[in-house]
Structure 1
Amino acid sequence: MLDFADGASAHEKSYITIGQIPEDFDSVSQLKKAPFSIISHRALVHTTELILPRDVYTATWSSIREKLETPRYIQVIMPLIALVEGDFFNDFVKPGSILMLSEGRPGVDDIFSLEQGILTLQMSREKYERTGLTAIEIDLRQPSMLHGKKGFERIVWACRNVLNASVTWLLAFDAVSQNSLDKAAAALQKYQPRLLDCDFEEIAHPVVNVPPLSMDEVRSQSWPAAVEDYCNEVSEWLGLVSLQSPRIAVDDKIDPYLSRYAVPQSESQQPQSTALVSLRWQGVMTSRWISQLFTSYLLEQRSHADGLSAWGALSASTFRRVAVENSDGYTVLSLTEGAKPRESGFVAWEFVGASLST
């Protein structure tokens, strides 16, 4: 026997949440509840994918697309001092509406991020001691964060004398606002920022075998271990869809010596097969934009519930920001009720601690 044990994989975790999507899911109050809280807790992601049965895609996508703005972001090379100087600090950092992330490898390089006005600094102990700062998380929205104030001037000194290397930054806005992004680019004009769009790729999958996907199937599992097995099998299948694996295709004829994978089946449901479509965005997207995408899908799916396939899957991959226990992404699978096609439940997976860097 060959030992393929990977010590890093022991740190990988998947947290599963099962619940009901509330009827008023498009209200602001629901953003604090799962599955929307799972989306909102990841401020920036680099890849978003929406997997739909072809009949759902055909019936809903054109309307969903009309409601969505193209996600945009800024890429710019500049030093940390640029955040705390001039109009950019007063107009964008101080109000707390801009999201920023610098390049770097967690645990190896200096990494800076800004979210809701809180600047987070990751650096070596030696460099931290040289800065003279008393914290690595600094709330720049506080009234004391002004030029001339002792605490703020200490931050400015550290940026100019210690944390003074130019690095690549990614910038986006918590609220979808094309004008604000244009103004932010203008405020950073001396650093020659690039305004970029996240265009989407449309992937047409062949007809594939589909596991039983319904809230009725989730509830039919008789004990917790069976629920866990079902969720793990569905997560694996969705991963194979994203990878465009031929193992799930209805005409797959691979020798079982090479692969023994089989799409999960159910005693209570007949095997199903359907064509799928994936919509994939890459670049920088905010949690607010992803919530808008998911909400638009749910609204359209509900309005076309009769006669359509009863599921859709939204996945997102986050930027690696910490060296240990990093939040790597999530998948939210929307499932309608068998007897109530206009009501939806969900299964959500939150992935933590993947061994491969993004």
Structure 2
Amino acid sequence: MLDIGNDNDSIPKPQCLVTHLQLSNYINHDDPPKKKKPFSILLHQTHSHTLDLLIPATSAEPLQQHLSAKRTDILHYATLHMKLLDIISGDFFTEYIKSPGKNDIAMLSEGRSGVDDVYRLHEGKLCLEIDKSTFERMGLEGRAVPSLGRKHVKQRYVVEMDLRDPRMVSGKKGFERVKWAFRNVLNETKTWVVVDLKNPAGCGGGGVMAAAFAPSVRKIEPKVERVRDALVPAWPEAVEGEDYADVAELLEWIGLAMMISPRVEKDDDVDDYLCRYQVPTAFGDTKTQDLVRLRWRGLICPAFAQSVFLAGLKTAGAEWLAMSAIAFDGEAYTILVNGDHSISWEHKD
């Protein structure tokens, strides 16, 4: 685990969790692992806004053909305007919340986490991030968000509820309290983004949703960019405790390559006065490769990220690949796979 920050214990420090492991010789793409890393990392980050995949150029065309054949290269999501009360009322509640076998959606409201009231829905679990005054007026159980010593930051609260709980039906006392709070306190109309968890390449913008809320459907195709003659570092087959500083340099290189930075190019001639960056050589000599980066930006659910990752594994073979995703709440991960070896970095803010 890498601690990032200063030595002042009163100031919260972001952390980067580093995991190195060997992948199984066989991965069932129809039923991939859910509890073992790096697959569990993909499923844990529920609301991402940017997904990057970095691969050698030789793997790019087979990958894009595979994604197109599976119809998983294009992400669809919808934007609509609705209130919290609309989510737990009428046909919308029945079709999209109480019937996960038929329809299952993820939703994220407008707002900045830590500043505005933000609502999230994933697999029937609703999470409300609100300020202190709103929390006190709602009358629902919740928990305070730890400030971790931050000064001049107003206290925030989180209220979580499982809308698929059998007790979440009209007439039950707890559910009626939720309806009262949504009718009298959290009653503003918000802009939401919605994605279909059953079919990430499709969209949850049909049926009752289309009839009642007139969603606007967005189609997101990957943005493809190339890096010519990039200096690629040697990837380690084993990582010891003393190697984590060198592994952090690999993460830095992946970040630069995903930014299409000229610093990783073989013929980069930037003035040393401006930048002294060098491609890491701790695990061996560098090699020259053309690279391709695919980027999706929108509401990216875990199922879509997993489908892209599995497609990358299938087409990469003995080659390497790197994938990263950034969440709306600031958390992020990067996964490097080289043959049957994997290194993952999880950024926890």
Would you say same fold, with TM above 0.5?
yes
Contact 1:316 1:331 survives alignment (8 Å): yes
Instruction: Determine the C-alpha separation between the residues in 2 that align with 1:177 and 1:253.
Output: 42
Corresponding position: 1:166 with 2:189:
yes
| Corresponding letter in the other structure for 2:19 | T
Please provide the CA RMSD for this pair.
2.4
Task: Compute the displacement of 1:76 (Å).
Answer: 1.0
Pick one of 16, 21, 24 that aligns with 2:23.
21
Pick one of 71, 83, 88 that aligns with 1:84.
88
Instruction: Determine the C-alpha separation between the residues in 1 that align with 2:213 and 2:98.
Output: 20
Report which stretch shifted further, 62-71 or 8-17: 8-17
Paired residue for 2:138?
A: 131
Corresponding position: 1:232 with 2:248:
yes
CA 1:158 to 1:313, structure 2 compared with 1: closer, same or farther past 3 Å?
A: same
Instruction: Determine the C-alpha separation between the residues in 2 that align with 1:178 and 1:202.
Output: 18
Pick one of 63, 67, 70 that aligns with 1:67.
70
Paired residue for 2:346?
A: 350
Deviations 1:190-213 (A, max 9, x none): 333111122110101121111112
Instruction: Determine the C-alpha separation between the residues in 1 that align with 2:179 and 2:299.
Output: 28
Instruction: Determine the C-alpha separation between the residues in 1 that align with 2:11 and 2:69.
Output: 41
Instruction: Determine the C-alpha separation between the residues in 1 that align with 2:41 and 2:11.
Output: 23
More helix by share: 1
Task: Compute the displacement of 1:266 (Å).
Answer: 4.5
Deviations 1:163-215 (A, max 9, x none): 0111111111222167772435x435333311112211010112111111242
Corresponding position: 1:153 with 2:176:
yes
Aligned with 1:11: secondary structure? coil
Q: What are the equivalent positions in structure 2 for 1:160-239 lying under 5 Å apart?
A: 160-176=183-199, 181-184=204-207, 186-215=208-237, 219=238, 223-225=240-242, 227-239=243-255
Task: Compute the displacement of 1:104 (Å).
Answer: 1.3
User: How many matched pairs?
Assistant: 323
Deviations 1:146-171 (A, max 9, x none): 12222212211111111011111111
Aligned with 2:52: secondary structure? strand
Corresponding position: 1:255 with 2:271:
yes
Q: What are the equivalent positions in structure 2 for 1:193-342 lying under 5 Å apart?
A: 193-215=215-237, 219=238, 223-225=240-242, 227-266=243-282, 269-302=284-317, 305=318, 310-320=319-329, 328-336=331-339
Instruction: Determine the C-alpha separation between the residues in 2 that align with 1:177 and 1:289.
Output: 5
The alignment-based identity, stated in percent, is 32
Contact 1:73 1:170 survives alignment (8 Å): yes
Instruction: Determine the C-alpha separation between the residues in 1 that align with 2:17 and 2:226.
Output: 30
Instruction: Determine the C-alpha separation between the residues in 2 that align with 1:125 and 1:17.
Output: 37
Task: Compute the displacement of 1:254 (Å).
Answer: 1.4
Task: Compute the displacement of 1:6 (Å).
Answer: 12
Task: Compute the displacement of 1:318 (Å).
Answer: 0.9
| Corresponding letter in the other structure for 1:285 | I
What residue ranges of structure 1 are gaps of 5+ in the alignment? 321-325, 337-343, 354-358
Contact 1:111 1:122 survives alignment (8 Å): yes
Instruction: Determine the C-alpha separation between the residues in 2 that align with 1:334 and 1:89.
Output: 41
CA 1:124 to 1:266, structure 2 compared with 1: closer, same or farther past 3 Å?
A: closer
Instruction: Determine the C-alpha separation between the residues in 1 that align with 2:11 and 2:79.
Output: 32
CA 1:178 to 1:291, structure 2 compared with 1: closer, same or farther past 3 Å?
A: closer
Instruction: Determine the C-alpha separation between the residues in 2 that align with 1:43 and 1:251.
Output: 39
Paired residue for 2:120?
A: 113
CA 1:9 to 1:280, structure 2 compared with 1: closer, same or farther past 3 Å?
A: farther
